Amino acid sequence: MTNPTGRVLIIAGSDSGGGAGIQADIKAVTMLGGYAMTAVTAITVQDTRGVHGVWPVPLEAVLGQIKVTLADIGADAIKTGMLGSAQLVEAIAEALHAQGGVTPRIIDPVMVATSGDRLVDEKAISAIRSELLPRARLVTPNAPEAEVLTGKPVENIDGQRRAAERLLELGANGALVKGGHIGGKLIHDVLQTTTGEWIFESPRIDTTSTHGTGCTLASAIAALLAQGRSVPEAVEQGRDYLHGAIRAAKGFGKGHGPVHHGWLLDELKN
């Protein structure tokens, strides 16, 4: 990119509880110095205990949001999250292709909420695999999502590496296979790109405040890429931001609470 300015278009669903989805995306992008725009794909009735309802936004409205934001403001990165149907995935892929395909795309293949609620159907998963993975700058699945996308077991670092390799074979330029769902005192995230491999390690934090961690990390990475960071740099700094947000979580809600996206502001106050 020439002169990246941090503009990020987020194509995802909303979370009424504010911990995940568009709400988490906007907070993460803003906290890391980016400018967030949105194309809302679905409205969810959601809190820390689960997803109580999903209302898809009409396709015409989703595509309209994408068209006008890109035409007027432009984007230095595009991040996708919850895409509930194959028709929606295919339409978004076509819209992004028409845009020229030069803007880095960060694909967060949101399939299951932290609460365990399934958010997409099998046809949508197939469409993500065939329509969005090719040409993605980075895809960011957790272990269960990586298993679904690749058909390979992801139970340890070796499994993460095999899944990342397969995601690159499917056309992605980079794959970050996260290890939060794999047991152990340490969490390992495996990043592979067309130029190399990096393994990131961090201690597991004993907390139930993990709602929106996937959305937050993907959007943090998108914000950093949009400001000119390399993929490894963006992943490392995005992980640091998420780690701080988990540590600073305030324990809101009666289920899986949200992370504290504004923890960097707290540090400035102190």
Residue 213 a catalytic site member: yes
- To the nearest 10°, the Cα dihedral for 241, 35, 62, 260? 30
Q: Is 61 helix (H, G, I), strand (E, B) or coil?
A: helix
How far is residue 36's CA from residue 208's CA, in Å, rounded to a whole number? 28
Residue of 18, 212, 238, 257 with catalytic role? 212
184 is an active site residue: no
Q: Is 44 a catalytic residue?
A: no
Retrieve residue 199's tokens.
Answer: 């393994």
State how far the Cα of 225 lies from the Cα of 124, in Å rounded to an integer.
26
With tokens 């329509």, the residue in question is 131
Asked if 88 contacts 124 with a C-beta cutoff of 8 angstroms, the reply is: yes
Is 84 annotated in the active site? no
Cβ atoms of 189 and 199 within 8 Å: the answer is yes
Q: Given 215, 216, 238, 257, which residue is catalytic? A: 215
H/E element, 192: strand 186-193
The active-site residue out of 213, 216, 238, 257 is: 213
Is 178 catalytic? The answer is yes
Q: Quote the tokens at residue 102.
A: 């030069």
Can you tell me the distance from the alpha carbon of 216 to that of 51, in angstroms, rounded to the nearest whole number?
18
Choose the catalytic residue: 18, 21, 179, 214. Answer: 214
Spell out the alpha helix ranges (H) of 139-230: 143-150, 157-169, 213-225
Q: HSE on the CB side for 203, CA within 13 Å? A: 5
What pairing do the DSSP bridges indicate for beta strands 7-15 and 35-47? parallel
Catalytic residue among 48, 114, 178, 179: 178
Whether 171 is catalytic: no
Amino acid present at 112: V
Which amino acid makes up residue 268?
Answer: L
Q: What are the residue numbers of the active site?
A: 178, 210, 212-215
